[in-house]
Amino acid sequence: MSNLTHVDASGSANMVDVNSKAETVRVATAEAFIYMSQATIDEVLAHQNKKGDVLTTAKIAGIMAAKKCSDLIPLCHPLMLSQVDVDIEVQAEQLRLRVTSLCKLSGKTGVEMEALTAVSVAALTLFDMCKASDPNMRIEGMRVLSKSGGKTGDWQHPNT
Amino acid sequence: MSNLTHVDASGSANMVDVNSKAETVRVATAEAFIYMSQATIDEVLAHQNKKGDVLTTAKIAGIMAAKKCSDLIPLCHPLMLSQVDVDIEVQAEQLRLRVTSLCKLSGKTGVEMEALTAVSVAALTLFDMCKASDPNMRIEGMRVLSKSGGKTGDWQHPNT
Amino acid sequence: MSNLTHVDASGSANMVDVNSKAETVRVATAEAFIYMSQATIDEVLAHQNKKGDVLTTAKIAGIMAAKKCSDLIPLCHPLMLSQVDVDIEVQAEQLRLRVTSLCKLSGKTGVEMEALTAVSVAALTLFDMCKASDPNMRIEGMRVLSKSGGKTGDWQHPNT
Amino acid sequence: MSNLTHVDASGSANMVDVNSKAETVRVATAEAFIYMSQATIDEVLAHQNKKGDVLTTAKIAGIMAAKKCSDLIPLCHPLMLSQVDVDIEVQAEQLRLRVTSLCKLSGKTGVEMEALTAVSVAALTLFDMCKASDPNMRIEGMRVLSKSGGKTGDWQHPNT
Amino acid sequence: MSNLTHVDASGSANMVDVNSKAETVRVATAEAFIYMSQATIDEVLAHQNKKGDVLTTAKIAGIMAAKKCSDLIPLCHPLMLSQVDVDIEVQAEQLRLRVTSLCKLSGKTGVEMEALTAVSVAALTLFDMCKASDPNMRIEGMRVLSKSGGKTGDWQHPNT
Amino acid sequence: MSNLTHVDASGSANMVDVNSKAETVRVATAEAFIYMSQATIDEVLAHQNKKGDVLTTAKIAGIMAAKKCSDLIPLCHPLMLSQVDVDIEVQAEQLRLRVTSLCKLSGKTGVEMEALTAVSVAALTLFDMCKASDPNMRIEGMRVLSKSGGKTGDWQHPNT
């Protein structure tokens, strides 16, 4: 059975020591989807054509959130991200928006939580900006897509 | 077609004026699920029986995140939440944990984004604490369950 | 000579008591300018026509900063802003962008520092996004344009 | 025409990859001025002689703000500043205070935004502490004075 | 036995509902002491006489920390403090500095945690600024001195 | 007499340059005690036996606070902690809880302020969760226990 490194001998959570880990270039990508009604997708598309503000606002929110990851997740280490990308694709036929992120740094611990935090807050921002139009929206399929660097090396989610 | 109140005349995002809205008691509830492998569920269950740390850590993270909502979501108003509850239920047969939240305040704007932020960060914290065991986890079904108070009054998600 | 209310009897700074002040609707507006080269203005204009990202990013940064004002300015009271607007106008002939803001709340203390913080951080964000093109930029003319509400009532900067 | 590295191929803002940049010692200095009435300058001078609180409070606010730069400016990288100095000089004859800052680190990206954030928030704090005396104050001439380190090497603002 | 309101029926921590509490003016005061060597006290006194920077820096840090209380203490409600005072007295004969604070607001919950956070961070700042001179310092006697307002009315620590 | 490195030539506080310091592994430990009534100790013990929530909540708060140290203490450098441990021991016979912390990183400056911030906020959280039961509690004996790494090498508080 795998070994949960965040739990100390007495069973209490701690921010584990990563000092002895190797400093390598680490990249992680993540994704999430937000499902909305046809009318709301249409509104987003119309705004995107005109100004793109809904998408840009969500994108900026996602980038800023990646930098706050260790403030939000109790046992995440503070990190100096060297890159954060967030992209949002309107997949109108599936009645959804796809949010993806990429985080990168040269460091001693992985950045998948930063990548997940970015897609999470970008999706919540889309929710906030569209909720007057469709309060029934759902955020689905939030997961890590891939990781590279560190001890485990390249990893990809089996369903990609 | 519904009216997106976050977009001004020139199409740019702003934090809209809620000053003239009525101050009423407002409550919102939200939920999210995190799916994991049998082995990882077993580990969480074992810890829950012994110490409950994974669940308590995620719960605390969710509560603290609700208070940061307006820091994370660009157009959310700063609010003085009078109550935040986060609960996590292990639904072992479905191979998932269910995170629910309730936010409440007496104010001029709703608290559904706070409730969503709480379940989102609680779920991300569960992800962080279990990812050494199962990196393939997915967060699904994040949505608002119900709202009360304000102009719209009582609202419930149609699929509940 | 006017009375600096932020300094206590022994000369040390404190966050003064505003509890006995009347709760009224308070609005403040502020402005700032950023001067840049013709080539950099042209780039902003070209992006604005295509995507508007530089301007939207700066606008979002300004709105979010208004909400952080009491975190940044030591003696500012925490406030629950009911509205924040930030606008950016390209004044190409004067080789500058004009950033304006409006903050509003119903409360016991004014919001001019929030309005100034919004234009300040929006202007810094414009600087950040354009500095690769023109490192010589200058931010000028940052000031409060008007205030209303509170004991002093309506006030307008004499040079407007 | 110069190349704006913060804008990706599709025109949307991202926090660009600095991982391949060289790690060198980087220093940046910045300045800003706040203009005020003779009576307000006199008050600051009197307090400075007695306690120095207005100036010390603004100085501390500027130092703390430099550390928050990547929280405020959406596309700034998180950095580990090794030094932040903020100084404030009363230039009574010009009816102004001059705020200067110096930021330093050994890293992969420059620190001019940190230096600008420091002078900006120090100047806003001076504004906050003096606004009861003179609400007409203006913040002017905020700019980067010099940079060293990195690919571009030593740079100085042409008007110094 | 008293009733711990922060623990829900299932024993898990939550941010309890204060919405039905009466909104009254609430004040709390707190204190803490930091003990240091004679040489370090002498240095503080000398600086105090000349500039007062150590004391002013600690005071500003304490005021700013009071505003961050609900960010730091998981189950504290966000509050809009109407007043924060922090004072530091050099008690040279006892080889200590006494830090006191007063927090005030009109609200539904008490402000003793804000008052304690203020003295705690002010004392830590004194520690930081004096630790090069005396690393053996101790912070002692941190407690709430008095509270007023709310259901319990006026309360004073029995040993005052 | 020792040399306070945080004070510049003109007597004003600055965040001093640590860039030329050696990067070594640095560890610091700290402790604090919170004294409470027998009835309150009994309640904590009972909760600890059943759920451990009071202790886990305080522990999480302490870990998260260590990461915020440079946000709270004006002249502390931002650091990338590689490890944070917080432990709480119920010392029922002495009517107190003992909070200890360990912070570690590979860097250019020590981590004793981070260790102190961790025990401070953990103790404040214990206070918050127990204050309904005993408002007379006191936090005592907060100090650095040991440091290693850096120019001074291994150091231990003389009274340990």
Residue F28's domain comprises: 24-145
pLDDT at B48 over 80: no
Q: What are the tokens at D150?
A: 């990195």
What's residue D7's pLDDT? Answer: 47
Chain D residues whose beta carbon lies within 8 Å of the beta carbon of residue A99: none
C vs D: CB pairs below 8 A: 178
The set of catalytic residues of B is 128
DSSP C67-133: HTHHHHSTTPPP---SEEEEEEEEEGGGTEEEEEEEEEEEESS--HHHHHHHHHHHHHHHHHHHTTT
The C-alpha atoms of residue D100 and residue D141 are separated, in whole angstroms, by: 11
Does the distance separating the beta carbons of D56 and E56 come in below 8 Å?
Answer: yes
| Percent of chain B residues past pLDDT 90, beyond the cut | 72
The C-alpha atoms of residue A86 and residue F76 are separated, in whole angstroms, by: 32
Does the distance separating the beta carbons of F75 and D80 come in below 8 Å?
Answer: no
pLDDT at B83 over 80: yes
Nearest residue in E to F50, CA atom: E11
* E78 falls within a domain: yes
* B151 falls within a domain: no
Three-class SS of residue E85? strand
Residue F104 sits at the vertex; the CA angle it makes with F100 and F105, to the nearest 5 degrees, is: 160
The C-alpha atoms of residue A77 and residue B43 are separated, in whole angstroms, by: 23
Does the distance separating the beta carbons of A16 and F83 come in below 8 Å?
Answer: yes
Chain B residues whose beta carbon lies within 8 Å of the beta carbon of residue A4: 43, 47, 129-130, 132-133
Number of helices (H), then strands (E), belonging to chain B: the values are 4, 5
Query: What stretches of chain A show up as alpha helix (H) in DSSP?
Result: 38-50, 53-66, 69-72, 112-130
pLDDT at A144 over 80: yes
The C-alpha atoms of residue E158 and residue F10 are separated, in whole angstroms, by: 45
pLDDT digits (tens, 9 = 90+) for E28-75: 999 999 999 999 999 888 865 444 588 999 999 999 999 999 999 999
Mean pLDDT estimate for chain E: 89
Q: What is the dihedral of CA C61, C67, C72, C75, to 10 degrees?
A: 150
The set of catalytic residues of E is 128
Does the distance separating the beta carbons of A19 and F104 come in below 8 Å?
Answer: yes
* E11 falls within a domain: no
Burial B52-91 (b: 16+ CB within 10 A, else e): bbbbbbbbbbbbbbbbbbbbbbbbbbbbbbbbbbbbbeee
Does the distance separating the beta carbons of A108 and F56 come in below 8 Å?
Answer: no
Residues forming beta bridges with residue E60, ordered by sequence position: none
pLDDT digits (tens, 9 = 90+) for C31-57: 999 999 999 999 888 865 344 588 999
pLDDT at A10 over 50: no
**Max mean pLDDT range (B18-22, E8-12, F108-112):** F108-112
pLDDT at E148 over 80: yes
pLDDT digits (tens, 9 = 90+) for F53-95: 889 999 999 999 999 999 999 999 999 999 999 999 999 999 9
Q: Which of A53, A128, A134, A154 is catalytic?
A: A128
| Tally of structural domains, chain D | 1
**pLDDT-based confidence at F45, cuts 50/70/90?**
confident
pLDDT at A2 over 80: no
What's residue A6's pLDDT? Answer: 54
pLDDT digits (tens, 9 = 90+) for D87-101: 999 999 999 999 999
* E88 falls within a domain: yes
Chains contacting chain C through 3 or more C-beta pairs under 8 A: A, B, D, E
Nearest residue in F to E38, CA atom: F1
Which site among A17, A26, A75 would you substitute to test the F interface, given the most F Cβ atoms closer than 10 Å to its Cβ?
A17
What's residue F6's pLDDT? Answer: 54
Q: Which of F17, F71, F128, F154 is catalytic?
A: F128
* A85 falls within a domain: yes
Q: What are the tokens at E32?
A: 């803490």
* F158 falls within a domain: no
* F12 falls within a domain: no
Q: Which of C53, C128, C134, C154 is catalytic?
A: C128
The residue written with tokens 């040489």 in the block is E39
Distance from CA of F95 to the nearest CA of B (A): 24
**pLDDT-based confidence at B50, cuts 50/70/90?**
very low
Chain E residues whose beta carbon lies within 8 Å of the beta carbon of residue B83: 14-19
Residue B123 sits at the vertex; the CA angle it makes with B119 and B128, to the nearest 5 degrees, is: 150
Between C123 and F9, the more confident residue is: C123
Chain D residues whose beta carbon lies within 8 Å of the beta carbon of residue A86: 14
- CATH code for position E133: 3.30.70.640
Does the distance separating the beta carbons of C127 and D7 come in below 8 Å?
Answer: no
pLDDT digits (tens, 9 = 90+) for A62-104: 999 999 999 999 999 999 999 999 999 999 999 999 999 999 9
For residues C61-83, average pLDDT = 96
Does the distance separating the beta carbons of E124 and F116 come in below 8 Å?
Answer: yes
Closest CA to D77 of F137, C83, A107: A107
**pLDDT-based confidence at F148, cuts 50/70/90?**
very high
For residues B25-47, average pLDDT = 93
Q: What is the mean pLDDT of each run of 10 residues along chain D (160 residues)?
A: 45 82 94 96 72 82 98 96 95 96 94 98 96 95 96 90
Q: How many CB atoms lie within 10 A of CB F53?
A: 26
pLDDT digits (tens, 9 = 90+) for C97-125: 999 999 999 999 999 999 999 999 999 99
Which site among D51, D67, D109, D120 would you substitute to test the C interface, given the most C Cβ atoms closer than 10 Å to its Cβ?
D120
Which site among B55, B57, B60 would you substitute to test the F interface, given the most F Cβ atoms closer than 10 Å to its Cβ?
B60
Closest CA to E89 of E81, E77, E101, E79: E101
Between A142 and D5, the more confident residue is: A142
What's residue E53's pLDDT? Answer: 82
pLDDT at E102 over 60: yes
pLDDT at F10 over 50: no
**pLDDT-based confidence at C71, cuts 50/70/90?**
very high
Residue pair C34/C40 in contact by the 8 Å Cβ criterion:
no
For residues F39-62, average pLDDT = 80
A vs F: CB pairs below 8 A: 52
User: What count of residues does chain C have?
Assistant: 160
Strands C138-148 and C24-35: antiparallel
Of C52, C79, C83, the CB nearest to B15: C83
* C70 falls within a domain: yes
